[in-house]
Structures are given as C-alpha cells and as structure tokens.
C-alpha cells in the first residue's frame, strides 16, 4: 500500500477516535445539536476506522509471516511462506477496500436526491424534451424500485412537456451514486412533431442534481426565511389554480429562492424547506471543493447547468456523453435503461479519483 494512502487512512481514523471521545464526554450530553453532528460524522468515519484497524492487523500478520519465512527451521519457513502468500492476497483486497473508502463520492451514500429539469433553448420543443428527460429518469427509478415524488411543475404550452419540473428520487444509497453525473446540459437533435419539412432541430434542457440533507447538516433559522404564497400554475387559461397554494421561499442571507407549485400549501412549505436545505448544502459543498480540492479538475465536470454533458441524436439513434467520449443506444437510454451508461460514468470517476491518491 502506498505510504500516502496509508497516511490518509490513519489520519481519518484518528479523527474518528477524536470525535468519538468528544461525543462520549459530559459536555456533549448537554449540547444536543452538537451531539447529533458528532454522531453523524462518527457514523460516516466508522468504516474508515474499521479499515485502519484491519490494516494494522494485516501489517502485523505480514511481519510475522515474513519472520517465519526467513527462519532457519525448514518446516517453520515453509509455513511462513504459505502464510505470506495468503497475507499478500488479503492485502490486495484490503487495499482496494481502502481506496474505495477514501474516494467516497461527494455527498456520501445519500438515499435521496432532488432533480431539477429546466427547458432551455428551443421553445416548445425544449419543453417537450424536458418532459422526455423526466420520463426517462422516472422509468429508470421504477426499474430500480426507487420512489419518485413530484415536487413542482410548470407545464409547457398546452400542457405538453415542462418548462420546469422538480422531483425527488429516494429509496437506496445507490440513488446519489447513479444520478449525480446527470447534472448539466442535455442537448437533443431530432425532427419536432410540428416540423412539416422534416428538418432536424436542436434544443436543450438542463438538469441539476442535489443530494438531500438532514436538518442537522444545514441549520436554517426562521428569521432568515421569507415565505410568499401564490397561485399554483396549471396548464393555463380557465384551468389555472384559483387558490394560493404555491409557495415561494427565499433564504435572505444567501438569496437562494425555491418554489413549490403542487396542490397542498402545507406540503409545499415542507418540500420547499427540504429543497432549500439541499441547495444550501450544495453551495457549501461547492465552496469546500474550491477551497480544499483544487487539485481535482474532474473530466466529469462540476455539475454546472451550463456545461453540456450529453447529446441525444435521434436520427442516428445515438447518445454521446461528451465527458467520457462514449456512445450509447438512444433507444435504450430514452426508455430509462441507464445502467450501462451510469456504470461507465461511475467507473470513469473512480479511476480519476484513484489517480489523485
């Protein structure tokens, strides 16, 4: 195992022990919020601490096996060589486990994410495309047995597609791992339904992916919130919702605004707060990465909406992910069978992270 990897592992394990000592101190018992923060971080670092202990045991066993293998006693030396071979095989498995733990995805093993899809350039066709992306993601979630909750919608002209749609996917620690690389710009090239001459048009939609966080991770004070109610947008015209059920929530210190437009005002308030917390967490994560992780110039990108990550070419039945320069079957992808593509992105990201250890 490389010395820098071993050092990083032991440093994180030492932090686990330090936090655990603080958690078990009398002072922690009187500060419930701090106790929750400590419990959360201790839980996150526990696998690291367990791996560090496994590495210590392995190194001890390896040293003992080497000592036996160098013995002048032939029988003991043979036993030592056998144990040394077993220990080295175990060491390879242990090193992979350590690397996987140290390159844990940003956002951790989140079992819930919020996705925001926004129609971009292309007018009505862009709204239809945003709707297609929404269906693609919901189909994928359904095949995985994950739950999808619609949070807010603004429909396109005549109720076709979406200008905006926000929704939650939850149900497994795999959720964040699989969806995080969907953030960015999605461009489509196809012949619109309204195109009489069969000309190919290009339009786009953007996707943001936010890991959902717990109350203890992001504290929001009531006095920092400005909450407005308004009529929820429907398909338009006489079908417009006449009650003020939609909620617009503004976090005054940061200026972040979220809107929930579903039928229940009470539910909209609750969901708006969850969305706001996720956005503030994302801002903190981005700031942390800028300050402490400048070394990582990821080919997979920052998740910025403005970054074009993928082109869906309908005439050629091809989806191209520009970050890894790979093509996939459009028919397969658009039906929500995303596993091959998401796995390619996960593996690419893993190799990139390993290169920085």
Cβ-contact 116, 164 below 8 angstroms:
yes
Domains of the chain by residue range: 3-102, 112-354
Q: Which residues contact 78 (CB under 8 A, 6 or more apart)?
A: none
The rounded distance, in Å, linking the Cα atoms of 249 and 244 is 14
Grade residue 310 by pLDDT with cuts at 50, 70 and 90.
very high
- Span 3-102 CATH architecture: Up-down Bundle (1.20)
Q: Would the pLDDT of 107 be above 70?
A: no
Range name among 108-117, 163-172, 179-188 with the lowest pLDDT average = 108-117
Range name among 132-141, 196-205, 334-343 with the lowest pLDDT average = 196-205
Instruction: Note the pLDDT of residue 7.
Output: 87
Instruction: Note the pLDDT of residue 236.
Output: 42
- Closest alpha carbon to 294 in 303, 283, 302: 302
CATH of domain 112-354: 3.30.70.1660
Q: Mean of the pLDDT values across residues 187-202? A: 83
Mean pLDDT across the chain: 83
Taking phi first (over 0 means left), then psi (-120 to 50 degrees means alpha), and beta for anything else, what does residue 161 get?
left
Q: Would the pLDDT of 168 be above 90?
A: yes
């Amino acid at each position: 195992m490389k010395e820098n990897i071993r050092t990083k592992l032991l440093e994180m394990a030492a932090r686990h022990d330090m936090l655990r000592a603080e958690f078990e101190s009398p002072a922690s018992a009187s500060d419930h919020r701090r106790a929750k923060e400590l419990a959360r971080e201790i839980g996150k670092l526990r696998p690291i601490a367990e791996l560090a202990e496994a590495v210590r045991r392995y190194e001890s066993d390896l040293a003992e096996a080497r000592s036996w293998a160098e013995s002048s006693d032939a029988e003991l030396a043979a036993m030592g060589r056998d144990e040394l071979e077993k220990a080295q095989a175990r060491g390879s498995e242990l090193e992979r486990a350590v690397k996987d733990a140290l390159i844990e995805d940003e956002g951790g093993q989140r079992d819930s994410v919020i996705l925001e899809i926004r129609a971009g350039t292309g007018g009505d066709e862009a709204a239809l495309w945003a709707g297609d992306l929404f269906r693609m993601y919901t189909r994928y979630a359904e095949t995985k047995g994950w739950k999808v909750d619609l949070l807010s919608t603004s429909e396109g002209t005549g109720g076709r597609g979406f200008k905006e749609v926000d929704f939650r996917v939850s149900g497994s620690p795999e959720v964040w791992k699989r969806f995080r690389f969907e953030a960015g710009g999605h461009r489509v090239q196809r012949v619109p339904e309204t195109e009489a001459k069969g000309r190919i048009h290009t339009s786009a939609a953007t996707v943001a992916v936010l890991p959902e966080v717990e109350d203890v991770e992001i504290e929001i004070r009531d006095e920092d919130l400005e909450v407005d109610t308004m009529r929820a947008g429907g398909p338009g015209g006489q079908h417009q919702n006449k009650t003020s059920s939609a909620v617009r929530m503004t976090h005054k210190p940061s200026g972040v605004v979220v809107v929930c437009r579903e039928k229940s005002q009470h539910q909209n308030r609750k969901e708006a707060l969850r969305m706001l917390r996720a956005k503030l967490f994302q801002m903190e994560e981005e700031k942390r990465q800028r300050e402490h992780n400048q070394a990582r110039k990821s080919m997979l990108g920052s998740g910025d909406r403005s970054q074009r990550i993928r082109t869906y070419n309908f005439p050629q039945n091809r989806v191209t992910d520009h970050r890894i320069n790979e093509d996939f079957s459009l028919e397969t992808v658009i039906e929500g069978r995303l596993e091959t593509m998401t796995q390619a992105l996960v593996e690419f990201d893993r190799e990139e992270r390993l290169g920085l250890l």
